[in-house]
A and B are shown apart, each in its own frame.
Chain A
Amino acid sequence: MKIGIPQSLLYTYYYPFWKTYFEELGIEVVTTPATTKSIIDKGVKASVPEICVPIKVYIGHVITLLEQNVDYVFVPRFVSIKKGQYFCPKFMGLPDMIRHSMEGVEEKLIMPFINTKSDNIADAFKNNIFGDKFPLNHKQNKRAIEKAEKIWLEFREYSKKGYSIIEASAIALGKASKEAFQSLNQKKIDVTIGLLGYVYNIYDPFISMDILSKLREMGVKVKTFEMLEEEDFNRQLKTMPKTLFWTFSDKLLAAGYHFYNDEEVDGLIHVTAFGCGPDSLLGKLLELDASIYKKPFMTVRVDEHSGENHLQTRIEAFVDMIKRKKLKVQRGA
């Protein structure tokens, strides 16, 4: 049996888990290549025009998988991974959008509910997620979950050490050694930037035009939200009268305030997709508070009409500005 996983949305965050789990059960995992213009075009055609780019990209990936003759496509329904918090409504209705907008795909979709207490989603797989589509042995399932969970936790540990998600994922899955990624221990770092954005924006080379590597090439140390510890978030969230009720947005907001308070971080870049609802609110709150913490804050809004040069220019200017500001402080001006 072949199962397809679209390389989009929370793929980067959970891929080590999903891949290990399915392979332990003896299922062949097929993934789509990184987003390309043709994939996104398929998605744009099949979705409502107003919806945000990540969803269009996701639908494009699903269509690509369906064309590749996989037996099933894995489209999890993320409901909640923290008590009292949810996902953006579009995540919660994602399988519905797909199964109702394409003819005859419903029986090809595997749509487990992800409704767990923490972002370790192992619990959601305890019950048979396949229905009668796959003969599942209870013992085998348990073993697969254990292994997947272990690998995923390892992967998170690497993330917290400062490796980007792609690197951490490669290390955890044993595809690369730690030494392969030396970018962390560079000799001289003069600027550190807090890069805010969802994993499916930052790590999708098409959506964000690989902003992370671009920054690193400029000798900038990049911190992202998944590199922070749970306590870092909680400390920030405690001081707020009401937190956002979308888990990842909540993490971003907390990460934003953490970066504001973190002396090492010189400035913040917020990467957001055109039409992203949760971001419209959290971006505004962070933007208003930038003046209080006296740190530069820039919003980069991306959509399917991407212009790579404009991004390059903007981040270069942003980094230059920070460098100059620091130089001035050093000179005591």
Chain B
Amino acid sequence: MKVSFPYMGTTVVYKKLLELLGHEVIMPPKPSQRTINLGVKYSPEFACFPLKVIMGSYMEAVEKGTEVIVTSGGHGPCRAGFYERVHSRILEEEDYNVEFIVFDSMFRDYKKFLQNVLRIKGDSSWYKVGKSLMLVYDMIKKLDVLEKEVQKTRAYEFKKGETTRAWEKIQNLFDRAYTKKAMEEAFEDGKELLSQIKQVPIAENKKVKIGIVGEIYVVMEASINMKLEEVLGSLGVEVERSQYLTQWINYNALPKFMNHSHETEILSKGERYIPIEIGGHAKQTVGHIVDFSERGFDGVVHLMPFGCLPELVSQSIVPKITADLGIPVLTLSIDEQTGTTNNLTRIEAFLDLIKGKRVRKIS
């Protein structure tokens, strides 16, 4: 069957897994203005931005011949858990013929989960499934290591844009690798590529580090957050995101009692401000701001889709955290009205403030 999936972040990963299981994968096109326009046209007006973008990218994927869309479900309280219902209803209404396979948490509806797994498994043996999963997990880990390196290197590159190009090349290398050995090679080649990038030497105490926190989709998907990481990198700033796929998988795949991942540690840091999980990534956002501040970052950019329910709660709390810990936070709310210049100005001003704060500290 011809399979597709929602577009988010390093998509080679999902593609690889489905390919290894013997499916024909239709890559959803990278979200473009057309994707957004399509999504906005058919989605409910006040739905959050990720829903609209994914709506558009599904439509484009179906136009390219997708028969089945594989996606994850959820059980709230954030709206993301209900996306699939709305998406499939709208696609049906607009005569897009496509079937959904939704992975809800297996602890909720075990039978359905198993059924879905069997469908995705297809004719491959369980041994193959296990092996593919391990391989892909390994690949994600490697890609995350490289991406963190990219985010550091980009800030000090001599020739603008060189790192971004290298990163694309690396993703291509991984895309072509289908065995453990080939992955290993791609990893080494990737490291090599990055180390070859000529860097401007900057004194350690002059380096500026910024953390990016917020809702997972707008944080991970560069094409809708105005390529924030690249923008910050080109302004000479090292960045680190709150979300990486490895963390997400570690946190979500393990049952609660043995879950000691990085994510749980972050959550406990947010406890002071939001005592319970209120859905989405609100508590993580708050926890990550505390974490970044403890690790000596200079500032945090907080991204949220317009009208995101949980992030609005964290946005309300941000001023208090800044007052408590003294870490500057810039909240950017993202939707289809892409005012790139406006946001760029705000980011530049934010960086100026951070640099000014430093000078003041020294003098």
| Interface contact A93-B282, CB-CB below 8 Å | yes
The chain A residue sitting closest to B280, CB to CB, is A89
A84 & B278 in contact (Cβ 8 Å cutoff): no
Q: Is A166 close to B, CB under 8 A? A: no
CB of B77 within 8 A of CB of A246, answer yes
Among B78, B81, B316, contact of A48 (Cβ-Cβ < 8 Å):
B316
Interface size on A, residues (CB 8 A): 37
User: Which residue in B43, B82, B306, B310 is a CB contact (below 8 Å) of A89?
Assistant: B310
A4 within 8 A of B: no
* Chain B contacts for A283, CB-based, 8 A: 44
Most buried by A among B47, B93, B276, B316: B316
Instruction: Choose the segment among B83-91, B202-210, B254-262, B350-358 that binds chain A (4+ C-beta atoms closer than 8 Å).
Output: B83-91
A245 B90 Cβ-Cβ under 8 A: no
Q: Are A89 and B44 in contact (CB under 8 A)?
A: no
A50 near B312 with CB under 8 A, answer yes
User: Do the beta carbons of B320 and A245 come within 8 Å of each other?
Assistant: no
The contact of B77 among A77, A89, A280, by CB within 8 Å, is A89
Query: How distant is A90 from chain B, measured CB to nearest CB, in Å?
Result: 6
Give the contact-size bracket for chain B.
35 or more
- In the complex, chain B residues whose CB is within 8 Å of the CB of A96: 273-275, 313, 316-317
- For the complex, is A277 an interface residue (Cβ under 8 Å from B)? yes
Q: Which residues of B contact A51 (CB under 8 A)?
A: 312, 316
Bound-complex Cα distance A87 to B276 (A):
13
B273 touches A92 (CB 8 A): no
Return 20 A-B CB contacts under 8 Å, by A number. Answer: A48-B312, A50-B333, A51-B312, A77-B276, A87-B77, A89-B282, A89-B312, A89-B313, A90-B312, A92-B77, A92-B276, A92-B278, A93-B314, A96-B313, A244-B76, A245-B76, A281-B44, A281-B82, A284-B86, A285-B85
Residues of B within 8 A of A (CB): 43-48, 73, 75-79, 81-82, 84-86, 89-90, 93, 108, 273-276, 278-280, 282, 306-310, 312-317, 319-320, 333
Sort A-B residue pairs by CB-CB distance and give the 3 closest, nearest first. Answer: A245-B76, A93-B313, A280-B46
Tell me the A residues contacting B by CB distance below 8 Å: 47-48, 50-51, 77, 79, 84-90, 92-93, 96-97, 100-101, 113, 241-242, 244-246, 274-281, 283-285, 288
